[in-house]
Amino acid sequence: MINTQSLTKYYGKTLGIENLDLNIKEAEIFGLLGPNGAGKTTTIRLLMGLLKSTKGTARINNFDCWKETVEIKRLCGYVPGDVRLYQNHTGGKLINLYTEVRGSAKLSDNLIDRLDFDLTKKIKTLSKGNKQKLAIILALMHQPEVLILDEPTSGLDPLMQREFYKILKEFQEKGATIFVSSHFLPEVERICDRAAIIKEGKLVTVEEVKELRSKAKDLTSKHSSLEEIFLEHYQ
Rounded CA-CA distance 206/131 in Å is 32
Rounded CA-CA distance 7/15 in Å is 12
The reported pLDDT for the residue numbered 218 is 56
- Categorize the per-residue pLDDT at 185 as very low, low, confident or very high, splitting at 50, 70 and 90: confident
State mean pLDDT over 14-30.
98
pLDDT digits (tens, 9 = 90+) for 53-64: 999 999 999 999
The reported pLDDT for the residue numbered 209 is 86
The reported pLDDT for the residue numbered 119 is 96
Give the residue from 196, 114, 92, 113 showing the smallest Cα distance to 161.
114
Q: Are 234 and 35 in contact (CB under 8 A)?
A: no
CATH class held by domain 2-233: alpha beta
pLDDT digits (tens, 9 = 90+) for 164-177: 999 999 999 999 99
pLDDT digits (tens, 9 = 90+) for 86-122: 999 999 999 999 998 887 778 899 999 999 999 999 9
The reported pLDDT for the residue numbered 104 is 75
The reported pLDDT for the residue numbered 228 is 52
Q: Are 230 and 198 in contact (CB under 8 A)?
A: no
